[in-house]
Structure 1
Amino acid sequence: MTVKTTLSFTDRHHRFLAEKVGQGAFATQSAAVAAALEQMMQDEQERDVALSALAEEIRSRMATPRTAFIDQDDAFGAALAAVGAARRV
C-alpha cells in the first residue's frame, strides 16, 4: 500500500535528492527517501541484534564463577610477549 505524505527538506537535502535522481541512482525522490528509510530500518534491526548478543554475553560472563576467571597474565601473556619481541627487533 502506498500512502501520500508531505515532507519538508532543507535546501541541502533537496539538492542531494535531486542530484541522485538526476544521476539515475533513484527513479524518483520518493524512491530515494524510501531507500533511506529501509536502510534506517535495517540498521536498527542489526543494532538490536548486536545489543541482544552483547547483553547475552554480559549475562553469561556475570554467571561465570570467580574460580573460572582467567588471570590477565595468562590471557594476554602471549600477546604481550609478541609485542615485546617485536619492539626489540
Structure 2
Amino acid sequence: MTVRTTLSFTERHHRFLTRKVGQGVFASQSAAVAAALEQMIRDEEEREHALDALAEEVRARLETPRGDYLDMDEVFAAARARLADRCAAPEG
C-alpha cells in the first residue's frame, strides 16, 4: 500500500535527490527516499541482531565456572616475551 505524504528537505538534500534521479540512480525522489528508509531499517535490524548476539555471549560467559577461566599471565606470556625481545633488539 502506498501512502502519500509531504516531506521537506534542506537545499542540500534536495539537490542530491534531484541529481541522483537525473543520473538515473533512482526513478524518482520518492524512490530515493524509500531506498534510504529501507537501508535504515536494515541497519537497525542488523544493530538489534548484533546487540542480541552480544547479550547472549555475555550471558553465556556469566555462566562460565571460575575454574574454566584462563590465567591472564599465561595467555599473554608469549606476546609479552616477543615484545620484550623486540624492545631489547638493537635498531638497524
Q: What is the identity percentage for the equivalent residue pairs of Structure 1 and Structure 2?
A: 63
Q: Over alpha carbons, which structure has the higher Rg?
A: 2
SS state at 2:75 partner: helix
Q: Which runs of 5+ in 2 are unaligned?
A: none
- Using structure 1 for the length normalisation, give the TM-score: 0.87
Match of 2:2 in 1: 2
Q: Which runs of 5+ in 1 are unaligned?
A: none
CA deviation after TM superposition for structure 1 residue 82, in Å: 4.0
The farther-off stretch of 65-74 and 48-57 is 65-74
Structure 2 letter corresponding to 1:12:
R
Distance 1:30 1:87 in 2: 60
Is 1:14 aligned to 2:14, yes or no? Answer: yes
CA deviation after TM superposition for structure 1 residue 88, in Å: 5.5
Task: Give the 3 Å change call, closer, same or farther, for CA 64–32 of structure 1 in structure 2.
Answer: same
Structure 1 letter corresponding to 2:61:
R
RMSD: 1.6
Match of 2:50 in 1: 50
- Using structure 2 for the length normalisation, give the TM-score: 0.84
